[in-house]
Structure 1
Amino acid sequence: MRILVTNCNTTERMTKEIEAGARAAASPGTEIVAMTPAWGPESAEGWLDSFLSAAAVLDLLRGIDENSFDAVVLAGFGEHGREGARELLRIPVVDITEAAAHLACLLGRRYGVVTTLDRTSGMIEDSLHTAGVLPNCVGVVGTGLGVLELGDEQRTASALVTAARRLRDRGAEVVVLGCAGMTGMDRRISTELGVPVVDGVAAAVRLAETLAGLSLRTSQIGSYAPPLPKTRRWHR
């Protein structure tokens, strides 16, 4: 099985971190191919960045050989673009936001999301609403750290524990890591707080494997029908 994992920003260091997390979660025999958009923001932290990121990722995906992959994982938490990607491709497209929330709902009645900056909370809530899992969410709490600051593991872990504790106090029974740059921190936070913690990249990879293993493909009827034939001018 071969899964394409796309970073939502142009920072190669983060792509490598996401790739490592995806490979750690993947089943034996699953090949992970990580790609970085050729253009767009160096980190996605707001509506403008998110829309630019979505266009850049779609630009990347339109250039792949779909027959070379069994599924795609979009590694941008709360970012736009997943619906467009599902129109563009027939193979399963799994978004880490949606995947993590669905798994969280299987582990507890209420969950909460820890993310980077508070300014991204609205986008994440909208994404969860579209996925149909917002009613189970007690809230989205920022750590005060920007995406590019997550490389300091000790500082990140401390901020995540503080934010996750606030969510637990609100009634969250499960915590979701709300940024692909937080991948690999789940067990550390879970041990500290005594609650299940879901890593979005790991969740999405495993769900992608399941869909591909069951030979399930994106429906071509209705919402995700192929794009209408017309001239489309891309950035180049």
Structure 2
Amino acid sequence: MRILVMNPNTTASMTASIRATATAVASPGTEIIATEPLWGPESIEGHFEGYLSAAAVLDRLTTLDFSFDALVMAGFGEPGREGAQELLDVPVLDITESAAQMAMMLGHSYGVVTTLDRAVPQIRDRLLTAGLLQRCAGVRGTGLGVLELEEDAERTTRIIVETAREVVRDGAEVICLGCGGMAGLQERVSAELGVPVVDGVAAAVKFAEAVAGLGLATSAVRSFAPPRPKRIGSWPLSTQLSLSTASSPRNVDFSSQTSGI
């Protein structure tokens, strides 16, 4: 089985961290491939960057030249998953719903610890749309920017633990790490808190294995039917970008650290 894990931002070091977490939990025989878009924001902290990222991810997916059995979208609370479900004929899972679904199997209520406070409404909206908000005891921001998560692992863990304690006091019995950039921290945070901590990347990979292993995929009869054929101007951009940079440095407006496949 081959699972593609898509980091929605263009920071290659974060892709590497996400890849490591996904690989660590994957079953024997499961191949993890991780990448990010060829263009878009280096981190996603708001609706504007979220919608740019969604377009960049869908653009990237249209230009991949290999097959895979499931897609994991590693953005927490961000748009684009539904578009990928229309585009692909394999299961598509995102880390927001996967984390919450797994958390609800482990306790009566769960909470989410994320990055900046401005991300909280976006995550709550995503959980509400998915029908998962009723059992959420709270969503809290740590005050850390997405890129700050990688600067000092000890400080990041300490702040996540401090914030998670507040969510536990609010009634959460399970904590979800609310950012793909927090991948790999679940064991340390759980040891400090004494409650289960779910990493969305790990949860989504295990769900992807289960769904693909059962031979299931997204229903295409209505909500996620394939896109209707039509002209889309200058699309996909990734193809043009790849051709224009084949023998020259990448345009400075785009990430120079894209990890590729």
TM-score between both structures, scaled by the size of structure 1: 0.98
Report the Cα distance in structure 2 between the residues aligned to 1:197 and 1:218, rounded to whole angstroms.
Answer: 28
Partner of 2:117: 118
Report the Cα distance in structure 2 between the residues aligned to 1:128 and 1:162, rounded to whole angstroms.
Answer: 23
Corresponding position: 1:11 with 2:11: yes
Task: State the AA in 1 paired with 2:182.
Answer: M
Task: State the AA in 1 paired with 2:76.
Answer: F
Identity %: 62
Show structure 1 runs of 5+ residues with no match. none
Task: State the AA in 1 paired with 2:48.
Answer: L
Corresponding position: 1:142 with 2:147: no
Partner of 2:50: 50
Report the Cα distance in structure 1 between the residues aligned to 2:236 and 2:200, rounded to whole angstroms.
Answer: 30
Report the Cα distance in structure 2 between the residues aligned to 1:84 and 1:214, rounded to whole angstroms.
Answer: 23
- 1:185-215 residue CA offsets vs partner (Å, 9 max, x unmatched): 1111111111110000000000000011000
Report the Cα distance in structure 2 between the residues aligned to 1:138 and 1:46, rounded to whole angstroms.
Answer: 22
Report the Cα distance in structure 1 between the residues aligned to 2:236 and 2:165, rounded to whole angstroms.
Answer: 43
Aligned length: 235
Partner of 1:232: 232
Corresponding position: 1:69 with 2:73: no
Corresponding position: 1:109 with 2:112: no
Show structure 2 runs of 5+ residues with no match. 238-261
Report the Cα distance in structure 1 between the residues aligned to 2:18 and 2:184, rounded to whole angstroms.
Answer: 9
Report the Cα distance in structure 1 between the residues aligned to 2:204 and 2:36, rounded to whole angstroms.
Answer: 17
Partner of 1:127: 126
Deviation at 1:64, TM superposition (A): 2.2
Task: State the AA in 2 paired with 1:122.
Answer: P
Task: State the AA in 2 paired with 1:161.
Answer: V
Deviation at 1:5, TM superposition (A): 0.4
TM-score between both structures, scaled by the size of structure 2: 0.88
Deviation at 1:232, TM superposition (A): 1.4
Report the Cα distance in structure 1 between the residues aligned to 2:25 and 2:78, rounded to whole angstroms.
Answer: 22
Partner of 2:245: none
SS at match of 1:118: coil
Partner of 2:156: 156
Report the Cα distance in structure 1 between the residues aligned to 2:121 and 2:62, rounded to whole angstroms.
Answer: 28
The 1:31/1:227 distance shift into structure 2, 3 A limit, reads same
Report the Cα distance in structure 2 between the residues aligned to 1:31 and 1:235, rounded to whole angstroms.
Answer: 27
CA RMSD of aligned residues (A): 1.0
Partner of 1:196: 196
Partner of 1:79: 78
Report the Cα distance in structure 1 between the residues aligned to 2:47 and 2:36, rounded to whole angstroms.
Answer: 20
Deviation at 1:218, TM superposition (A): 1.0
Deviation at 1:235, TM superposition (A): 6.2
Higher CA-based Rg: 2
- 1:44-96 residue CA offsets vs partner (Å, 9 max, x unmatched): 01011100010000101111246x10000000111100011000001000000
Task: State the AA in 1 paired with 2:68.
Answer: F
Deviating runs (4+, > 6 A) in structure 1? Answer: none
SS at match of 2:32: strand
Report the Cα distance in structure 2 between the residues aligned to 1:148 and 1:94, rounded to whole angstroms.
Answer: 24
